[in-house]
Amino acid sequence: MPRTDASGVIRARIPAGAGNVCRRIYPGAVVKQPSPARPARIEVFRHLFAALTEEMGAALRRSAFSPNIKERRDYSCALFDGAGRVVSLGDHMPVHLGAMPMSVGAIRDTLGELGPGDVAAVNDPFLGGTHLPDITLVSAVHTTERAKPIGLVASRAHHADVGGSAPGSMPLVREVFQEGLRIPPVLLLRAGLRVDGVWRLILANVRTPLEREADLQAQIASLDAGRRRLLDIVERVGADAVREAMELMRAYGDRLLAEGIDRIPDGTYAGEDVLDDDGMGNGPLPIRVSIRVEGSRASVDFRESADQAEGGVNAVAAIAVSCVRYAFRCVAERLLGVSLPAGGGDMERVEVLLRDGSIVAARPPAAVAAGNVETSQRIADVLFEAFSVALPDLIPAQSQGTMNNVTVGGTDPRTGETFAYYETVGGGAGAGPSGPGLSGAHVHMSNSLNTPIEALEHAYPVRVVAYGLRRGSGGKGLHRGGDGLRREVRMLTDVDVNLLGERRVRGPRGRAGGGEGQPGRDAVRADGVERAVPSKGAIRLKAGDELVILTPGGGGWGARQSTPSAS
């Protein structure tokens, strides 16, 4: 677990890819010095392992039942070595991937070595999870019945409901217990057979058990796809060659990251921004970071950030470290002009300092539903704010800085069944030195899609009455920020709606003289009258009422140049 000293400071290294908050030494793991890197060999295995995780994602997407997974692609897949160190990450959700190594570590610590046919599950945010709807499944890949695993495969997917006080399991509450079912490391399958008691326990505590069961089965199918593909690679080149390739990948990622950090000017750089509020009347809530760069090493200090909040905007430590990994990877790739391997290496040259009990390293039983989706975006924002001091001509303006979360639940009059719908809505990306920002996009720690109108209306009793870009909402400048979205949804039955959004008070900042993007806004239209509603909280809507979501535009980059007058 993270090392916490007497003063409550968490000192976290980023090992084995993407955001584990502890440096974990696995008993029995023998780490050999890899042979001198051979570029062609590295590239071949880099693409083999990346293709494996992408195939896992494709299998999950094709098999899933919920629109949130099969249409929005709110999932992530990864490959780990036999000691639980990440080798390759799918091109999926950065906030998921950054925390998955800690979930894998928690499963290994609790359940020991997974046997052939075992599938373990966990969603506990304080054990490497992100928030309760994100359920992680892990299985080991064995070449023979008695052999130690050559690797582990993992998938994490956002389930549209895992119980709790509100449909969609994203309520504005004060404790994690109110947010839904909290799953410690447990086995869903043992030696290929279902552990029926665990399945019954999970499905008895959710509003949509048939959909949850189907989506869990889809995750299991994705693990099986990854297992089969890794065994195919072993059969072609041998187990020893695969193990060596995994070490080569990690070492190569470390070398690239060290070179990237070394190209950042030495110094200490600060960034600060705020969350609007926690939905409980508290705010603004500052997040502060100080990045110190010395040669090819860096420390990232969040200890001056706000205390953990009453409402559910708290991020766990795994999320904070995941954001650090994402930001450093983005900067290193831009400076080097090459992409890092999908695993990214151990990142042991980056130390993260967190204050236990702060908004970026919350303690249980803090509510954390919005920490994953909203606070993660603000952590990314402050990291890039700090980097913009060191690299002013490289870092783009702020993007929308929110995921605009919407959950809707009720009884579908067409079937008489309970439903729970969840989505996030894209907005404007920040402009950069090379061009304008994207419009209507998911940014930074999110990488999902907007739910297609046809899929939404087919699956749920709703009607999309307006959906388009919010023209002119991007910040002005030499390069304009991307525009946000306008999405209006009419309810065809009485429903409970929960909103979790940010950037409603002040829009995203511009950079290098560019203007701010417009802030977002939420409203309800009933009987022809539109009224604004808070961006966090629960709303009861009747059939015929409409929910209006206006998402923020991105910041502009650069001062607009005047046009010379004609002579």
Domain limit, last residue, from 199, 225, 246:
246
Structure tokens at 281: 């009347």
Number of domains forming the structure of the chain: 2
Query: Would residue 545 count as lying in a domain?
Result: yes
Q: Tell me if 419 sits within 8 A of 543, measured CB to CB.
A: no
Query: Would residue 374 count as lying in a domain?
Result: no
User: CA torsion angle for 159, 402, 125, 269 (degrees, to 10)?
Assistant: 150
d(C-alpha 216, C-alpha 207), whole Å: 15
Per-residue pLDDT of the chain (567 residues; tens, 9 = 90+): 455 665 667 766 554 433 322 222 222 223 334 444 477 888 899 999 999 999 999 999 999 999 999 999 999 999 999 999 989 988 778 887 778 888 999 999 999 999 999 999 999 999 988 999 999 999 999 998 778 999 999 999 999 999 999 999 999 999 999 999 999 999 999 999 999 999 999 999 999 999 999 999 999 999 999 999 999 999 999 999 999 999 988 888 889 999 999 999 999 999 999 999 999 999 999 999 999 999 999 999 999 999 999 999 999 999 998 999 999 999 999 999 998 887 767 778 999 999 999 999 999 999 999 999 999 999 999 999 999 999 999 999 999 999 999 999 999 999 999 999 999 999 999 999 999 999 999 999 998 888 999 999 999 999 999 999 999 999 999 999 999 999 999 999 999 999 999 999 999 999 999 999 999 999 999 999 999 999 999 999 999 999 999 999 999 999 975 433 332
Domain limit, last residue, from 212, 246, 280:
246
Query: Would residue 337 count as lying in a domain?
Result: no
Place of tokens 């071949």: 44
Query: Would residue 158 count as lying in a domain?
Result: yes
Sheet holding 285-294, edge to edge: 3-4, 9-13, 350-355, 297-301, 285-294, 267-275
Query: Would residue 344 count as lying in a domain?
Result: no
In which domain, by residue range, is 526 found?
A: 396-562
Query: Would residue 21 count as lying in a domain?
Result: no
Considering Cα of 382, then 384, then 387, then 388, what sign does the dihedral take?
Answer: negative
Q: How far are the Cα atoms of 49, 101, 286, 347, 379 from residue 86, in angstroms, in the given order?
A: 11, 7, 32, 11, 23
Domain limit, last residue, from 221, 246, 271:
246
Helix axes 209-237, 196-203, angle to 10 degrees: 130
Query: Would residue 267 count as lying in a domain?
Result: no
Place of tokens 């060596």: 244
How many residues appear in the chain?
567
DSSP for residue 265 = P
* % helix, strand, coil for the chain, step of 5: 30, 25, 45
Query: Would residue 347 count as lying in a domain?
Result: no
What DSSP string describes 100-147? HHHHHHHHHHHH-SPPTT-EEEE--GGGT-SSTTEEEEEEEE-SSSSS
